[in-house]
Amino acid sequence: MTLPLWLSLLGASVVISFTPGAGAINTMSNSIRMGWRGSIWGIIGQQIALLVHVAIVAAGVGLLVTNSPTTFEVIRYAGAAYLVYLGIRMLTARPEPGELSAQRTNGRWRMVRQGVLVNLLNPKAIVFFLALTPQFVRPDQPQLPQYLLFIGTIVVVDILVMFFFFAATARSFHRFAATARGARIQNITFGTLFIFVAVLLLLAR
């Protein structure tokens, strides 16, 4: 990959990562509940999903998904249903004294799993990578180095943006959410946002 082509990929990765979506909402919610450093576990989960998406496209399954309306719709509705589930769970949650410290101890793998599912159950991401990959991975050149540089750039940029922008922006509300009233407001806000993103996913064509 030439330097100008890589710089184009870098620019596209920055724009993609800064685009608000379920991943950004998930990261900000984790940062408020778990603290800025603790939010990295959810971000790691989201990157695992990105790796899976690129692997799916590289294996040619992504083309199958985009050419199969039924498969695409199943994944789309599953993704929306999961976001609604997260939203309802947050809206109905009852924060209790000491819950935050318990989450810090036991919630890391839960955040990783949630991060994976939030990004993985998004068929639009498969379509996006299917459209983006051919622009930067040339069939007449060795595939593995190109894919490593391609996904490496996307993942590194996304981690930096999620951790140092979205998570860092939300960290100022961490103390507010540590109170019962603040935690309740936080649950209502992000629960509503998750449901809103789910509706957008269903309406988007």
CA distance 100 to 180: 10
Q: φ and ψ at 121, to 5 degrees?
A: -85, 50
**172 domain-assigned:** yes
- Residue 126, CA atoms < 13 Å, CB-side half-sphere: 25
Report the pLDDT value the prediction gives residue 99, as an integer from 0 to 100: 47
**7 domain-assigned:** no
DSSP collapsed to 3 states, 74-125:
HHHHHHHHHHHHHHHHHHHCCCCCCHHHHHHHHCHHHHHHHHHHHHHCCHHH
State the residue range of the domain holding 140.
39-203
Q: How many domains does the chain have?
A: 1
**71 domain-assigned:** yes
Q: What is the dihedral of CA 47, 19, 91, 173, to 10 degrees?
A: 90
Reported pTM: 0.75
**118 domain-assigned:** yes
**96 domain-assigned:** yes
Q: What is the pLDDT along the chain (205 residues), one digit of tens a residue?
A: 788 888 888 888 887 788 778 888 889 888 887 888 888 999 999 999 999 988 888 777 666 666 677 777 777 787 778 778 878 877 887 764 444 544 554 578 889 998 999 888 876 677 777 777 777 777 778 878 888 998 999 999 999 999 998 899 887 776 666 666 776 777 787 778 778 877 876 776 5
